Amino acid sequence: MQAAQRGAPNSDDEFDVRHLVKQLSTGEVLNFISAPCCLIKLGPGACSDDFHYAITARLGLFHHPRVRLGVVDSSKVEWTVWVKAVVKAKLQNLAVPLSDEGHPPAGYYLFIRGAPVAFHPAAVDLDQDGSLLLAGAATAFAGFFLKSPEVVKIATHMGVWAAGDRAAAFFVEQIKQLFSESASAAEETLPVDENDRDEPLRMAYELLGLSLDASETEVRSAYRNRVMECHPDRAGRNPVAQERANRRTAEVNAARDYIWRVKGYR
């Protein structure tokens, strides 16, 4: 897979991740999940813009094996008897509750070589996300007042930022455990092109403004500096700047996590 194009490491340009999340029709799903690793978001009205950015960064940009990311709008699925039977058979080992109509719950589904292995609703937790929800509500009110659709759209994302982080961490750990249980089998299914392994690492170092031969001390120092540069607290009350800061922070944290896993840093 080609790396997303971006500016210089120290620039404020974001990765172009639009190509990483594919909107899927019902007929495309079975072929899509045949990849070694695949994550699909399912839900009514689900679209690529709703895919949590933390998940996109940690699994789509900085991860090996590469994870296919897709979205299925369940409201556009023709829930025929055959489709319901396939869904029920595929998801039976996840023990997720189906609705009376036979529809699976909204959320993220992880597939390994076509088999569903984990589910996470990426749901908002009032205890953990209350302050973000309040900030999102205030921002939405300001967006309506200013007649700014962009601000309103950003406000809808604010309350779920932390939920996306939790879901991303969950799936990273699930993939790590599943592939470590059968390393040889996993390697057989992965692409043989070494660029698939090396490119995310190069991108991670580039995001921190470093070369691949940087020392652990340099990596840790660069990470701290980048987090301080892009931290949302420095974005003020501008919701557009807040959204961009959160996206960049997600990228930096994902890059850090990937370097830590590959290099074995503690």
Angle at 69 between CA 16 and CA 28, to 5 degrees: 120
Domain end marker among 116, 142, 159: 159
Q: Is 120 among the domain residues?
A: yes
Q: Is 59 among the domain residues?
A: yes
Q: What is the pLDDT tens value at each position of the chain, 266 positions in all?
A: 333 333 333 445 556 676 889 999 989 998 999 888 999 999 999 998 889 889 999 999 898 878 999 999 999 999 999 899 989 888 988 989 999 999 999 999 999 988 999 999 988 776 665 566 556 556 656 666 666 666 555 556 555 778 888 999 999 999 988 876 554 444 444 444 445 567 889 999 999 999 999 999 999 999 999 988 987 777 777 777 777 888 888 899 999 999 998 888 87
Q: Is 119 among the domain residues?
A: yes
Q: Is 5 among the domain residues?
A: no
Shared domain for 187 and 148, answered yes or no, is no
Shared domain for 141 and 210, answered yes or no, is no
Q: Is 25 among the domain residues?
A: yes
pLDDT attached to residue 188: 44
Shared domain for 56 and 111, answered yes or no, is yes
pLDDT attached to residue 138: 62
> Residue 208 phi/psi, 5° resolution?
-85, 0
Shared domain for 73 and 194, answered yes or no, is yes
Shared domain for 92 and 63, answered yes or no, is yes
CATH number of the domain to which 189 belongs:
3.40.30.10
Dihedral sign from CA coordinates of 196, 187, 250, 115:
positive
Q: Give the number of other CB atoms < 10 A from CB of residue 117.
A: 17
Domain count, the chain: 2
Q: How far apart are the first and last CA of the chain?
A: 29
Q: Is 73 among the domain residues?
A: yes
Name the burial class of residue 96, with classes exposed (0-12), middle (13-18) and buried (19+) by CB atoms within 10 angstroms of its CB.
middle
How far is 2 from 22, CA to CA, in rounded Å? 15
At position 100, the amino acid (one-letter code) is D
Asked if 57 contacts 67 with a C-beta cutoff of 8 angstroms, the reply is: no
Asked if 62 contacts 204 with a C-beta cutoff of 8 angstroms, the reply is: yes
Shared domain for 185 and 133, answered yes or no, is no
pLDDT attached to residue 161: 75
Shared domain for 79 and 108, answered yes or no, is yes
Shared domain for 95 and 138, answered yes or no, is no
Q: Is 7 among the domain residues?
A: no
Domain end marker among 159, 184, 206: 159
How far is 121 from 108, CA to CA, in rounded Å? 6
Domain end marker among 115, 143, 159: 159
Helices 239-263 and 216-230, interaxial angle, to 10°?
Answer: 170
Asked if 62 contacts 260 with a C-beta cutoff of 8 angstroms, the reply is: no
At position 190, the amino acid (one-letter code) is L
- Among 126, 159, 141, 175, smallest CA distance to 50 is for 159
Biggest distance spanned by C-alpha atoms of the chain: 58
At position 165, the amino acid (one-letter code) is D
Shared domain for 134 and 92, answered yes or no, is no
Q: Is 27 among the domain residues?
A: yes
pLDDT attached to residue 9: 39
Structural domain of 139: 126-159
